[in-house]
Amino acid sequence: MGLTGSLLLLSVGSWPARATKRLEVEIDGIVLPVSLEDLRSFGRLGDRSRSELATWLRLLNPDSREGLMRLLNAPVLTRRSLGQQLLNSWGAAPLIDALGALVRVEGGGSISSSEVLPTLERLLDQQEQVSTLDVLQALPTEQLRLDLNALLKAANHWQQQLERHNSLMAVLAAEPSTRRVSPQPLKTSRLASSRSNGPETMELLVRHRAAPIQVQAWSSLVSSTSSEAPADRPWLLIMPGLGGDPEHFHWLAEDLSEAGWAVVIVEHPGSDAEAVQALLDGRQPFDGAKALRQRLLDLDAVLGAQRQGRLPVKGTNVVLVGHSLGALTALLAAGADPVPGIDRRCRASLAAIPLTNLSELLQCELADSRALKTAPLDPQPLAVVGLNSFGGLIWPRGKQTQPLEMPLLLFGGTLDLITPPLDEQIPLLQRLGHHPLSRVVVVEGASHFSPIRVESQAGSVQGDDLFQLGEELVGVNPLTVQTLMTQEIIQFLEQLESQSPAANAGHFDWGTTRWHRLNRNEADRLIGDL
């Protein structure tokens, strides 16, 4: 809810940008002229303001007045916020253009992203954070009219979307626990500075990049000749998400290698933490289509190097593991063919202003750039593990698509409004995961960033990581969530090896953390209950 509120403030804060000189508010056919100075006075003094505007606004209920004051004074953009990343992305322009139905300029025209975006960027160059009132004063447009009826309609749509996600949380919360899990000691010392089983780091020369890409490899700590491990056990290739670095997933690589699987993590220049920091600093834009194409080529290069014996990991089969954009890369590489008609679906999504599912902005950028169509890997991966995966517009519910041949393990969190499980992971399981071992794991209280581990999560050290985020973004108990993710992945891999007949559904309880393992039948039943 905190993330959604921030994003709503970001968008609403952009709407009045044209009202520097004259602002009009229209509701039920009545137009009220509003002085910018009166608006600032109300934002500063509230009910103590003696302006004409305050007289009208006293007709609102107290909660609405308080909400308006908070909106006027809220820092809707900061230099290090998710909002600035959005501002510098492809999604900013269609998002602001979609708001044209809510805001009209003199003569009845719509606000334009070509005018709003440079103003917001200029404000951020001048100050650390920008409030709605700052934006109100920034553009010298003569007149702006805010249509509160249209705003109310949009707000009702967002409320309906949030209610759908709340319904999912309520249905899951009502499920009795299948099994209570005994808490295990968390290995919180597993950081890059204190690993006993550190990775071997190397660089690969690739044709599609000017500089080599870096890969980190963990050898299996269980001998292939041991009775505990099959002779040709698969290895795992981990791909971080947008803004992610290999170090964010050292915890997972170390856990898996100790359990007997070799692991490789690949860094993706151009869409890693350094690239996102450059985006935040205004040094370079982000091109989602280029990033996806490069990631697919990076993946192919790493797989080729392993087959040629240039990586210190053995195994004929690979399991692809990806977080967010890394998970989308894995699904496309595994052969998931986009469903035709995504251009039409994107138009409908952007018109509704998808603030409860920000991944739709990136999906539409990739579709607009024709970056989604790709040749599948040959040979295909043994399985795909997607952490906070997305693709609800690419592979929509109710549309015919060819399911993947290999098993899927998908993770989602109930606090994730970037890739919400109700619109992303669960539909992906229904559309693509027809293998008997496919399942989705939904974790209560987990967010889009729960799989990312940074130094401050594991002790008192305050690191300098880009992902130093508050609980409203990271979610609750991230170390516990990461531990249960490891357990679910290991169980999935063991069932692959033993060729188990099907994925067992269940609802689990570990102290204050609950999670739900759903196979396709359980996912279908859950959607039916909603």
Domain spans of the chain, in order of start: 2-156, 184-500
Helix (H, G, I), strand (E, B) or coil at 387: strand
Give CA separation, 370 vs 343, 351, 373, in Å.
Answer: 10, 20, 7
The Cα–Cα gap between 289 and 283 comes to 19
Token couple for 4: 């959604």
DSSP string, 114-133: HHHHHHHHHHHHH-SEEEHH
CB 267 within 8 A of CB 214: yes
Give CA separation, 242 vs 21, 139, 272, 399, 527, in Å.
Answer: 40, 32, 6, 28, 29
Strand 213-218 relative to strand 30-34, pairing: unpaired
CB 476 within 8 A of CB 482: no
> Is the four-CA dihedral 482, 485, 489, 491 of positive or negative sign?
positive
pTM of the model: 0.81
pLDDT in tens, the chain (530 residues): 233 333 333 333 333 333 345 677 676 566 767 766 776 676 667 667 666 666 666 666 676 666 666 656 666 666 655 566 666 677 677 777 766 666 666 666 777 777 777 777 777 778 877 776 676 667 556 676 766 666 667 777 777 888 888 888 888 888 888 877 665 544 433 433 344 568 999 999 999 999 999 999 999 887 544 556 666 899 999 999 988 899 999 999 999 999 999 999 999 998 887 877 766 666 777 788 999 999 999 999 999 999 999 999 999 999 999 999 999 999 999 999 999 999 999 999 988 878 788 899 899 999 999 999 899 999 999 999 999 999 999 999 877 788 999 999 999 999 898 899 999 999 999 999 999 999 999 999 899 989 998 765 555 444 455 455 555 556 678 889 999 999 999 999 999 999 999 888 999 998 888 999 999 999 998 888 77
The Cα–Cα gap between 230 and 497 comes to 8
Quote helix, strand, coil % in the chain, to nearest 5: 45, 15, 40
Q: Which of 374, 342, 375 is nearest to 360 (CA)?
A: 342
Strand intervals (E) in 241-360? 263-266, 318-323
CA dihedral 82, 463, 388, 344 (to 10 degrees): 20
Strand 143-147 relative to strand 22-27, pairing: parallel
DSSP state of 313: -
Q: How many Cα atoms are found within 13 Å in the side-chain-facing hemisphere of 519?
A: 13
Q: Which of 391, 397, 347, 351 is nearest to 368 (CA)?
A: 347
Q: Which of 316, 341, 340, 491 is nearest to 411 (CA)?
A: 491
Sole residue written with tokens 């409203």: 472
Helix (H, G, I), strand (E, B) or coil at 364: helix
Helix (H, G, I), strand (E, B) or coil at 312: coil
Give CA separation, 417 vs 70, 106, 357, 445, in Å.
Answer: 22, 35, 5, 12
The Cα–Cα gap between 136 and 85 comes to 21
User: In CATH, which superfamily holds the domain spanning 184-500?
Assistant: Alpha/Beta hydrolase fold, catalytic domain (3.40.50.1820)
Q: Which helix (H) or strand (E) holds 349?
A: helix 342-351
